[in-house]
Amino acid sequence: MESLIGVKLGCLFALLALTLVCGLSPICSKWFKIDAATGRHRRVLSLLGCTSAGVFLGAGLMHMTAEALEGIESEIQKFVGQNRTRTKGNSSNDAGSAFVQYPCGELVISLGFFLVFLLESLALQCCQGAAGQSTVQEEEWGGNPAFDFHTHESLRSPKQSPFRAFVLLLSLSFHSVFEGLAVGLQPTIAATVQLCLAVLAHKGLVVFGVALRLIKIGTGARWATSSILSLAFMSPLGLALGMTIAAGDSEGWKGLAQAILEGLAAGTFLYVTFLEILPRELSSSEAPLAKWGCVAAGFTFMAFIAMWA
C-alpha cells in the first residue's frame, strides 16, 4: 500500500512539472510571440498554431467526448441495473431499457455546447452598444484588458471574445481534475503508471497549445502565467482527491454526477474548438495544404495516444 501511495505521489509531481514546463515555456520565450514575427518565422508559428488546433480537435473528439460517453453510459447502465434488482415489474424493465437506449451522453455533451453558446450570446447581447473588441473583455474581466486583440488579426469582431479563452481553460480544468481523479483511484501500481503515462503523453501538447492560444490572442504575461498555473494544479488536485476516496466507491449519484460534468466539459471544449480555434487558424488562405497537414498531424497524434488513454 505504501509503495502504491509513493507511485501516485510521483505521478502527482510528474503531472504538475510537465504542465508547468509545457505551459510556461511558450509564455516566457519571445520566439513564440507572433506579433513580433515576420517572414518564415511567422509562417512557422502559423503552422505550429494549426498543429495545436489539430491537438485540440483530437483531444475533444478522441479523449474528452469518448471518455464522457463511456462514463455516462456505464453509470446509467449501473443505475438501471440497481433499479432492476429492487423492482421486478415488467413495466419498469421496459422503461429502463428505453432509458439505456436513449443517447443520454450525446444529449449531455450537446447541453454543454449550448450552455456556452447561451452564455456568450447573453454577454454579447448585454454589451451590444459598447465599442469594438474591448466590449466583452472589459465587462467580463472587470475592465482589465487581460485579453486584448492586436490590430493585425484578420478576425476582429465582438464574438472573438476572451470569454472563449476562459471557457477553454474552464473545460480543460474540469477534464484535468477527472484525469487526475482516475489516476488516483487506480488499485495497482501497474494500472496507475500505465494511466499516468497515457495522461502525460497528451497533457503536455494540450497545455502547450493552450499557451500558444493565450499568446496569439494577446493575453498579458501575468494573466497567461496565472492561467497556466491554475490549470497545472487541476490534475494533481484530482489525483489527490482520488487518493483520498480510493477506499470508498463511486456508486450512485457521485459517479453519475462526475460523468455528467465530464460530458458538459466536453461540450464546452467542442464549442471553443470548432467556433474559435479552427476558424481562426484556417482564416488565412496562405499554404492551405500545409495547414491541413499540420491539423491532421496534431489530430493523428491524439488519436494514436487514445490507444492507451
Q: What is the DSSP string of 103-114?
A: -HHHHHHHHHHH
> Cα separation of 112 and 1, whole Å?
39
* pLDDT tens per residue, range 1-27: 678 888 888 888 988 898 899 888 888
Burial (0-12, 13-18, 19+ Cβ within 10 Å), 151: exposed
For residue 294, CA distances in Å to 88, 141, 156, 199 come to 55, 33, 24, 22
Which amino acid is it at 249? D
| Residue 128 lies inside a defined structural domain of this protein | yes
* pLDDT tens per residue, range 119-140: 778 777 776 554 344 433 444 4
DSSP assignment of 157-223, as one string?
A: STTS-HHHHHHHHHHHHHHHHHHHHHHHT-SSHHHHHHHHHHHHHHHHHHHHHHHHHHHHTTB-HHH
Indicate the SS3 state at residue 33. coil
Inter-axis angle of helices 253-272 and 66-86, nearest 10: 150
| Residue 8 lies inside a defined structural domain of this protein | no
User: What pLDDT sits at residue 292?
Assistant: 92
Indicate the SS3 state at residue 29. coil
Mean pLDDT computed over 83-103: 64
Which amino acid is it at 10? G
For residue 219, CA distances in Å to 35, 120, 187, 234 come to 12, 19, 41, 21
Which domain covers residue 150, as residue numbers?
47-305
Instruction: Tell me the backbone φ, ψ of residue 160, rounded to 5 degrees.
Output: -85, 70
Mean pLDDT computed over 137-157: 41
Highest mean pLDDT among 43-47, 285-289, 295-299: 295-299
Which amino acid is it at 147? F
> Cα separation of 114 and 223, whole Å?
27
User: What pLDDT sits at residue 300?
Assistant: 92
CB 253 within 8 A of CB 82: no
> Cα separation of 177 and 158, whole Å?
31
User: What pLDDT sits at residue 253?
Assistant: 64
| Residue 220 lies inside a defined structural domain of this protein | yes
290, pLDDT greater than 50: yes
User: What pLDDT sits at residue 34?
Assistant: 63
Number of domains in the chain: 1
Question: CB under 8 Å to 296, separation ≥6 — which residues?
Answer: 54
User: What pLDDT sits at residue 150?
Assistant: 37
Question: CB under 8 Å to 308, separation ≥6 — which residues?
Answer: 194, 197, 198, 201
Instruction: Tell me the backbone φ, ψ of residue 219, rounded to 5 degrees.
Output: -70, 140
- For the chain, what's the residue count? 309
Mean pLDDT computed over 208-224: 82
| Residue 112 lies inside a defined structural domain of this protein | yes
User: What pLDDT sits at residue 246?
Assistant: 62
The residue whose grid cell reads 512557422 is 44
The residue whose grid cell reads 489530430 is 299
Mean pLDDT computed over 275-302: 85
60, pLDDT greater than 80: yes
